[in-house]
Amino acid sequence: MALLSAVKAGIFVVQAAGNTGPSPKSISSFSPWIFTVGAAAHDRIYSNSIVLGNNITIQGVGLAPGTDTDAMYTLVSAIHALNDTTAANDMYVSECQDASNFNQDIVQGNLLICSYSIRFVLGLSTIKQALETAKNLSAAGVVFYMDPYVIGFQLNPIPMRIPGIIIPSPDDSKVLLQYYNSSLGRDGTTKKIIKFGGVASISGGIKANFSRAAPKIMYYSARGPDPEDSSLDDADILKPNIVALEITYGLLGVAVVPTQLNLKVFVHVDKNSFNFALDLTMTISTGESFAMMSGKAWQPPMLPDLPP
């Protein structure tokens, strides 16, 4: 009833359908005055890749810009760019979480190689902090290789403001590291690195590739009808007369914008065209994006009455 009062006051209310699918009548938000959002797949794939100096291309993920066209950049591993005050045996330093651990003269203008460990999965380390480290060191970009102990986790396209890529395959990560290590030039006596010979370029993963596949509800998304009276009219879950997460109606476009992931960087806010990544959480701003991109002529009470 509180939400009904909010709607009556002119507030556009959005709520997630729930993650209890695929059972019917599993929807947890079915009040007719609430805009309910389900989870759906789309036909956009954001491919990213890194091309090594030996002409091997490795696929990866990352909603990131690429490096300059036709330019190759020197690869520098985080563990080989430490400053004099950082202990070489620090087991977490390769995760690139603190710029003060590194020598900027070594990293500047190069691609910084960082490890993606289980600590990223647990939230103890973050991509955002690694990107901040690279930015503070004036790196040309970041390459994350997958720790072999991180298995069974799906990586979604992660927004990056600088050129970057995450290699999700431990085997492909091994290919990268083998190339990098074989390209190092070492002093014959001291074995210290005197030359970083490995180079690479990042293609970037901002441009979407379309497969023309029809949107479909994800298996885990809750479904109608309304468990109270079996009505299909009380919920807005991807109904034909409501814009699903990946459909455009004429001049009205809808994009999923997870604001805490800074995906707004990659969204062209325009009624005629837009770009977006797969929504990671149904409860995030789907309906708000709907209203935001609809223009001033559209009012929340009009949204459920769009033509099919």
The CATH number that applies at residue 181 is 3.50.30.30
SS3 category, 58? strand
Residue 56 sits in the same domain as residue 189:
yes
Residue 160 lies in a domain: yes
**CA 128 – CA 134 distance, rounded (Å):** 10
Determine if the pTM surpasses 0.85: no
Residue 255 sits in the same domain as residue 157:
no
Residue 35 sits in the same domain as residue 52:
no
User: Both tokens of residue 76?
Assistant: 């520098």
Residue 259 sits in the same domain as residue 222:
yes
Residue 2 lies in a domain: no
Q: How many whole angstroms from its chain centre is CA 139?
A: 21
Tell me the residue range of the domain where 102 lies: 47-202
Residue 1 lies in a domain: no
Residue 170 sits in the same domain as residue 78:
yes
Residue 72 sits in the same domain as residue 22:
no
Residue 207 lies in a domain: no
* Domain end position, chosen among 179, 202, 225: 202
What is residue 273's predicted lDDT score, i.e. its pLDDT?
Answer: 40
Residue 106 sits in the same domain as residue 228:
no
| Residues in the chain where the model's pLDDT stays below 50 | 234-235, 237, 239-286, 288, 293-308
What is residue 260's predicted lDDT score, i.e. its pLDDT?
Answer: 32
End-to-end CA distance of the chain: 30
Count structural domains, the chain: 2
Residue 137 lies in a domain: yes
Residue 228 lies in a domain: yes
Element (H, E) at 5: helix 2-8
Residue 54 sits in the same domain as residue 35:
no
Q: Which of 44, 36, 11 is CA-nearest to residue 246?
A: 44
Residue 136 sits in the same domain as residue 184:
yes
CA 262, 265, 267, 270 dihedral sign is: positive
Residue 289 sits in the same domain as residue 176:
no
Residue 24 lies in a domain: yes
User: Both tokens of residue 31?
Assistant: 């009040």
Residue 25 sits in the same domain as residue 51:
no
What is residue 271's predicted lDDT score, i.e. its pLDDT?
Answer: 37
Residue 84 sits in the same domain as residue 58:
yes
The burial class, CB within 10 Å (0-12 / 13-18 / 19+), for 71 is exposed
**CA 112 – CA 176 distance, rounded (Å):** 13
Residue 211 lies in a domain: no
